Amino acid sequence: GGTNLMDLMKRGVETPDAIIDITRLPLRQIEKRKNVVSIGALVPNSELSEHKIITEQFPLLSLAMKAGASPQLRNMATVGGNMMQRTRCPYFYDTALPCNKRTPGTGCGAAEGYNRMHAIFGASDSCIAVHPSDMCVALVALDATVQIQSGKTIRNIPFAEFHRLPGDKPELDNTLQAGEIILGIELPDSNRFSSHNSYIKVRDRNSYAFALVSVAASLEKNGDIIKEARLAMGGVAHKPWRLTAAENFLKNKKATEANYIQAAEIAMQGAKTFQHNGFKVKLGKNAIVEALMKAG
């Protein structure tokens, strides 16, 4: 849909020699195939969030997508584009300021600057930016797979391996190689996580704003007992941040507020804050508890 690329080109952050229009490629399916639900890379965000298969089987994905951007942007933006969108770090968008992601080797303006929106997990000395997507937070929680094609070769990778941490190469947001194209994503065709879901997004405005923190929570329950929990956060790392230790803690536990509080404590262990984003630790804990309470 070009919704992020146009922003970046207007500001001179991206200056492509050429742009290839792929909008007529046959990648707009939302359908069941063998044991998976297949979603094409060119499906608009609005269409996906309203589709019957998604609202019935994967309401977490629908909730997360509706929390993103504005209705106009969701009509234009695609699944593949949502995955490929770049950070909203203001230093990245201002070509007068240093930014290792935009111009490697120039330094990170945010590290010593205004870093209220920035990462508390997985940051490096090179970059402390966060990934801005809501959709991707739900997809990592739901164990999606990404289908990628290069020439005649198709490879499938776990969604959690698509985006990367900045390390010493912050210019790379993800593991897509030159010459590769995202065909789409696949979700396991199951109803396990169709009943107990919540997506909490804490932001400065109620619409058209990126998350300070967001939490995707999905529970598979047997009465009061949690058979399996899925938890992921947005707004806290360079990639959608799966909370595996908290998920493991919740397995076979009672669905109680006390257990949710303990899970939130576990989830936020190891958080490293910067000058202006220390509030994200408490905000994150509270958002996790709220998301689990709503889902449970």
Q: Which residues form the interface with ligand SF4 (CB under 6 A)?
A: 87, 89, 91-92, 99-101, 108-110, 127-129, 170
Nearer to ligand SF4, 184 or 235 (CB): 235
Nearer to ligand SF4, 2 or 104 (CB): 104
* Least distance to ligand SF4, CB of residue 128, Å: 4
Nearer to ligand SF4, 91 or 199 (CB): 91
* Least distance to ligand SF4, CB of residue 14, Å: 14
* Least distance to ligand SF4, CB of residue 99, Å: 3
What are residue 109's phi and psi, to 5 degrees? -65, -30
* Least distance to ligand SF4, CB of residue 272, Å: 14
* Least distance to ligand SF4, CB of residue 95, Å: 11
Nearer to ligand SF4, 37 or 123 (CB): 123
* Least distance to ligand SF4, CB of residue 101, Å: 4
Nearer to ligand SF4, 102 or 230 (CB): 102
Strand-pair partners of 154: 149
Q: Is the Cα dihedral 252, 200, 51, 183 positive or negative? A: negative
Nearer to ligand SF4, 230 or 238 (CB): 238
CA dihedral 82, 118, 202, 94 (to 10 degrees): -60
Nearer to ligand SF4, 197 or 277 (CB): 277
* Least distance to ligand SF4, CB of residue 9, Å: 17
**Exposure on the CB side of residue 47, measured as CA atoms within 13 A:** 15
Strands 145-150 and 181-188: antiparallel
